[in-house]
Amino acid sequence: MPALLGPTNPVPGYDQQPVRITTPPPTDTSVQNIVDPDRVVRPDSKTEREDTADTSTRYESNYMTFLQRLRGARDLPETFMRILQWGGVEVSSGLRAGFAGELAQFMEFLHMDEAQLLEFLKNQLQSGTRFTGALFSLLRDAYKGASSEMARSDILQFLRRYSDFSSTEHLEGKLLRETEDMTESLPSQWADQVKNILAKLESGVKADDRQGNLNLLREKLFPLISNYVRTTHDHGRARNILSMMTLDIARYENGSETGLLHAFRHLTSMGVLPEELGKLSDADIMRLLKESDFAKAAQNNAFAAQMASLTNAALRGQGGADAQEAFQNMLAAMLINESVYMPLNHVILPLDWNGEKMFAEMWVDPDAGGTRERPGDGTVRILIKLDIDSLGTFDMLFDARGENVNLQVACPATVAPFSEQVERTLGEILSRNGLRPERVMVGEMRRPIAISEVFPKILEGMSGINIKV
């Protein structure tokens, strides 16, 4: 009977000749990419683990990419100090006049006294932590005590909707910028049509017409660009921008008030949230969500808005090559905060204190004694990396449990001779603020403190399976 299912004509004698497979021994160095069944190797013959010059472990995974970027963030203080030293409109380092003026406006935010610094720090912490307040404390407890995966999934679905809802202004601005960027890469006859869509989109954003904006993008912009690509075979920038917009549109739709209210009421009907919350009107629920600490801080965070505007101008090349490089480095270092592997709060504090330019980074673990699965003993750990223009760099490590505080300071060599005086002064400052200093130590910095040394929970991701597609 003929082999009707055979994909090709059979080779004469194929079923008569024995097949011999000769496997070279694993020790044969003349053959590359030998498969050794006793261990897993990569296609390039490198093992999964390779020691580098800095003795760090490198995996081809999303998690190790995060760690590599975290190491790269060590250049953030130096980069920001370069920006601060440009000084505004008086610069003569190739910055264009318009960009220098915007830089001068940004610098105005950095002139602070003690009260302004406290308010600035509180605002940065609140706006950097989205799920804060009584409602999210309830959800956090409910998630920990949930008896089923379905209940946890419902809580996460609501949080995703709230995250997208609270990002509405950001998403709308991004969609507008992406649509405008398309016009710069299209021939005039196509660009004019996109400009008409952009004008309607701007009107829809001002009118708070989310559904109308979604319909406009889906029914007008997407078919237009798809037709352009099909007609011109141009698979360049416009097509890439359209691909990026797909995710933004999905988040924009997911953050609708209707979907958020439905998810909220679903939690109350399932008993995840108190029944009394389900009796609130739609207007009261939205008021509750809009008046969270994060929402208030985000609305009042003029510093973040000004920095975003300045960064956007720099990346578009309006400040010259030096500014573009500096802000690219700064943005790359700050984006690690959005990683799912980041278990810490990270705050930046650029300052101009009585004419003294300085930059501080604050890494905060509010539960340093615990892990992701098990809460700790209430110890709060804070690492501050401070760069003062006239003195140099400092590393300050706080461990606080209740009123009891331990403080270690690594200082520049020029400050080390005064370490005892600095210790006394720091102890007095802590006492004046109602804290009990158990130990205060100041010594010369031998090397910068690695973040993973202070916060070992960053390395918890090594126990998981991480891949990069």
pLDDT digits 0-9 by tens, 142-157: 888 888 888 889 998 9
DSSP one-letter string for 61-84 = SHHHHHHHHHHHGGGHHHHHHHHH
Q: Determine whether 252 is exposed, middle or buried from the number of CB atoms within 10 Å of its CB (0-12, 13-18, 19+).
A: buried
* Residue-level pLDDT at 256: 92
Cβ contacts of 426 within 8 Å, gap of 6 or more = 407, 409, 437, 440, 442
Structure tokens that stand for 239 in this block: 């097509």
pLDDT higher than threshold 50 for residue 29: no
* Residue-level pLDDT at 90: 44
Instruction: Say if residues 336 and 451 touch (Cβ distance below 8 Å).
Output: no
pLDDT higher than threshold 90 for residue 249: yes
* Residue-level pLDDT at 193: 93
- Greatest mean pLDDT among 306-315, 318-327, 442-451: 442-451
Q: How confident is the model at residue 347 (pLDDT cuts 50, 70, 90)?
A: confident
pLDDT higher than threshold 90 for residue 197: yes
Instruction: Say if residues 171 and 177 touch (Cβ distance below 8 Å).
Output: no
Instruction: Say if residues 102 and 372 touch (Cβ distance below 8 Å).
Output: no
Q: Report the share of the chain in percent with pLDDT over 90.
A: 22
Of residues 243 and 83, the one with the higher pLDDT is 243
Arithmetic mean of pLDDT, 93-111: 68
Instruction: Say if residues 151 and 169 touch (Cβ distance below 8 Å).
Output: no
Arithmetic mean of pLDDT, 256-280: 87
pLDDT higher than threshold 80 for residue 282: yes
pLDDT higher than threshold 60 for residue 30: no
CA distances from 235 to 174, 194, 249 (A): 22, 17, 21
Average pLDDT for the chain: 76
- Amino acid of residue 23: T
Of residues 325 and 247, the one with the higher pLDDT is 247
Longest dimension (CA), the chain: 99
- Greatest mean pLDDT among 36-45, 204-213, 442-451: 204-213
Q: What angle do CA 423, 425, 428 make, to 5 degrees?
A: 110
* Residue-level pLDDT at 211: 93
pLDDT higher than threshold 60 for residue 335: yes
* Residue-level pLDDT at 89: 41
CA 313 – CA 43 distance, rounded (Å): 42
* Residue-level pLDDT at 13: 46
pLDDT higher than threshold 70 for residue 250: yes
Structure tokens that stand for 443 in this block: 């010594």
* Residue-level pLDDT at 15: 44
- 372-386 tens-digit pLDDT: 455 556 788 999 888
Of residues 238 and 48, the one with the higher pLDDT is 238
* Residue-level pLDDT at 408: 92
Structure tokens that stand for 320 in this block: 């010259």
| Residue showing tokens 């998403």 | 171
Q: Report the share of the chain in percent with pLDDT over 70.
A: 71
pLDDT higher than threshold 50 for residue 161: yes
Of residues 467 and 460, the one with the higher pLDDT is 460
pTM summary value: 0.56
CA 2 – CA 12 distance, rounded (Å): 13
pLDDT higher than threshold 90 for residue 300: no
Cβ contacts of 246 within 8 Å, gap of 6 or more = none
Q: How confident is the model at residue 217 (pLDDT cuts 50, 70, 90)?
A: very high
Arithmetic mean of pLDDT, 51-70: 56
95-99, 269-273, 413-417: segment of lowest average pLDDT: 95-99
Of residues 250 and 319, the one with the higher pLDDT is 250
DSSP H helical ranges for 73-148: 76-86, 97-108, 114-128, 134-145
Beta-bridge partner residues of 405: 400, 437
Residue 295: strand, helix, or coil: helix
- 225-241 tens-digit pLDDT: 999 888 888 888 888 88
Query: H or E element: which one contains 364?
Result: strand 356-365
Arithmetic mean of pLDDT, 202-223: 93
CA 254 – CA 356 distance, rounded (Å): 46
DSSP one-letter string for 170-227 = HHHHHHHHHHHHHHTTS-HHHHHHHHHHHHHHHHHHHTT-HHHHHHHIIIIIHHHHHH
25-34, 35-44, 393-402, 457-466: segment of lowest average pLDDT: 35-44
Q: Which of 318, 436, 395 is nearest to 77 (CA)?
A: 395
Arithmetic mean of pLDDT, 316-344: 74
CA 369 – CA 379 distance, rounded (Å): 6
Instruction: Say if residues 110 and 358 touch (Cβ distance below 8 Å).
Output: no
Of residues 317 and 298, the one with the higher pLDDT is 317
* Residue-level pLDDT at 388: 85
